Amino acid sequence: MKKILLPIIIVLAATVFFSVFIVKEINQAIVLQFGDPKRIISTPGINFKIPFIQNVVFLDKRILNLDAPPEEVIASDQKRLIVDAFARFQIVDPLKFYISVGNERVARSRLSTIINSRIRSVLGTQRLQTLLSADRTNQMALIQDGVNNEAEKFGIKIVDVRIKRADLPPANSEAIYRRMQTEREREAKEFRAKGAEMAITITSTADKEVTVILAEAEKQSQIMKGEGDGQRNKIFADAFGKDPEFFAFYRAMQAYEKALIGGETSLILSPDSEFFKFFGNIKAKLD
């Protein structure tokens, strides 16, 4: 009896195991019978299928990301641009999705082709300056609408399309870099020339001001020196007027000091020279 029950239990367990499947909250399921869709399940929970006859295909119902390969776009002004875009999409019709593309891998490949084609068709009618300006948002809206129209055929809704990066090709980038470098060098030369001109102007102005200041200072010093000499002469004149004999004696002593200084000074003068008049007085007093 046990030998009979054991195979029956195993068969029943296998039947139950292959009959039950769980749909998670992030998934939606299509029940197929020999490849023919029979049911679409969008709500999470436990479900049943006919074992060995039916199978289940699970599809993600979250918003998915698609990173399209970089694409070279030629703008209307014949400028080349490497555009790297990405999109976000969601499977809204699982049956249409399964019939048209089958799985996410094929869907991503088809969407990448559609996105790149739409980018070329929209951005190719715009100038490079427009693509790099704030108006690019409007262009991206046109791209999204076009891609969405195509994606509806696959049961897909395009949530968003964005450009991650828009670069010039390497050859164009190098040419623009060289042109920018030349322009910056030209501006630097102009700045240096203007700086040198300003330096010469400032130096000339400073030299002029220094010359004027020195001349004015020299003038003031000569005036002050003249006033000082006049004051000195006046003082000497006043002093001479008070005691002419003493003043003559004082001047004679100064002359003796300057003339007779040093051990090698020799004077040959007449004894009755005016230079020795005070020596005579001294001799008379000594006598």
Report H helices in 152-276: 170-242, 244-259
Any domain includes 222: no
**73 - beta bridge partners?**
81
pLDDT digits (tens, 9 = 90+) for 211-245: 889 888 888 888 888 888 888 778 877 777 777 77
Any domain includes 131: yes
d(CA 92, CA 148): 12
Q: Which two tokens stand for residue 196?
A: 């040198």
Any domain includes 263: yes
Q: In this structure, what are the phi and psi dihedrals at residue 67, rounded to the nearest 5 degrees?
A: -100, 100
Q: Are residues 88 and 109 in the same domain?
A: yes
Any domain includes 228: no
Q: Give the residue numbers spanning the domain of 42.
A: 2-60
pTM: 0.54
pLDDT digits (tens, 9 = 90+) for 56-97: 999 999 999 998 888 777 777 677 778 888 899 999 999 999
d(CA 279, CA 37): 154
The CB density around residue 32, as the number of other CB atoms within 10 Å, is 17
d(CA 150, CA 146): 7
| DSSP code of residue 69 | P
Q: Are residues 162 and 70 in the same domain?
A: yes
Contact in structure between 38 and 66 (CB atoms under 8 Å): no
